Amino acid sequence: MKKVLVAGATGYLGQFVVKALKAKGYRVRALGRSAAKLALVEEYADDLFVGEVTDPDSLSGLCDGIDVVFSSVGITRQKDGLTYKDVDYQANRNLLTIAEASGVSKFIYVHVLNAEKLRHLAMIQAKQTFVNELKVSPLDQVVICPTGFFSDMEEFLAMARSGRVYLFGDGSNRINPIHGADLAEFCVGAMDSQEQQFDVGGPEVFTYREIAELAFAVLNQPKKITCVPKSLVSATVGALRWLTSAKVYGPVEFMASVMTMDVIGDAHGQRRLAEHFRDCGGSIESKSREDHPLPV
């Protein structure tokens, strides 16, 4: 059976991917920045590799014996001083370089749906630059473009718990978010695919307003929703750019952009958002990535 390197194995999606690969009989090497973080997946990985994906010197031997590289490495919530260019572009470029030199046959990369409409964002520019280089690589490649993950929808639950949900735009744009376990199953299915790109979403389409209402309903709290009109969105994000760091405005700018457009991928999976919200319902606030238990 093929051996797969999972980069991003300590993240929300990566943890599910490690488990899903193992369930299908693949051999798995998990890459992470520390042994402590890799403990999250050690039960499912055949071997663990401690290395800094942003530092090529620490990656020697990483792809030895590897057939396929899967990468979900990227900044979702900034935890260190690095930029999207350092991580979403350069770290993935480092992985591709070592994969090409090591005889890896395929590279699977997790991008973002609607990237062509989001080119003004630094995160998307970094990811797209990597995808452009992946496309001219001699390796077989699959680019998976997902909608929003259930982990990100937990932000609505956190806002509802604090009493009010803020929406960018009027809340009428639509999204079909996907559970990490469903997306992981899709990614594992792509291992043997000849197609090079997939737009992937979950089984249910919601407006953003409906997601906010669902969060209030699960918490059994009165609905209080405030919309930031589309005309004020860019001024709000612009102000945040001046008043805060990239750590704050980067994710807000991304949310503001996706909430004012439809984000619909081909429907996959069966896991339902209401059930996920109910599962999270007892938590005090939105779960951090580290709090996500290994895959249900």
Ligand X SMILES: NC(=O)c1ccc[n+]([C@@H]2O[C@H](COP(=O)([O-])OP(=O)(O)OC[C@H]3O[C@@H](n4cnc5c(N)ncnc54)[C@H](OP(=O)(O)O)[C@@H]3O)[C@@H](O)[C@H]2O)c1
CB of 33 to ligand X, least distance (A): 4
Unique residue bearing structure tokens 């620490």: 58
Q: Cα(69)–Cα(52) distance, rounded to whole angstroms?
A: 16
Q: Report the residue number, 60 or 221, with the smaller CB distance to ligand X.
A: 60
What are the phi and psi torsion angles at 97 (to 5°)? -60, -45
Residues linked to residue 166 through DSSP beta bridges, in sequence order: 226
CB of 89 to ligand X, least distance (A): 11
Q: Report the residue number, 158 or 224, with the smaller CB distance to ligand X.
A: 158
Q: Report the residue number, 68 or 187, with the smaller CB distance to ligand X.
A: 187
CB of 2 to ligand X, least distance (A): 21
CB of 7 to ligand X, least distance (A): 8
Helix or strand holding residue 177 (H, E): none
CB of 71 to ligand X, least distance (A): 8
Nearest residue to the partner ligand X, using Cβ: 11
Q: Report the residue number, 2 or 289, with the smaller CB distance to ligand X.
A: 289
The DSSP call for residue 5 is: E
Q: Cα(134)–Cα(89) distance, rounded to whole angstroms?
A: 11
Q: Report the residue number, 133 or 163, with the smaller CB distance to ligand X.
A: 133
Burial of 289 (0-12, 13-18, 19+ CB in 10 A): middle
| Long-range contacts at 220-225 (CB < 8 A, ≥ 24 apart) | 221/160, 221/161, 221/163, 224/163, 224/164, 224/165, 225/164, 225/165, 225/166, 225/167, 225/171
Q: Report the residue number, 221 or 275, with the smaller CB distance to ligand X.
A: 275
Site residues, ligand X (CB under 6 A): 8, 10-14, 32-33, 37, 53-54, 72-76, 79-80, 82, 87, 110, 112, 146, 148-149, 151-152, 289
CB of 13 to ligand X, least distance (A): 3
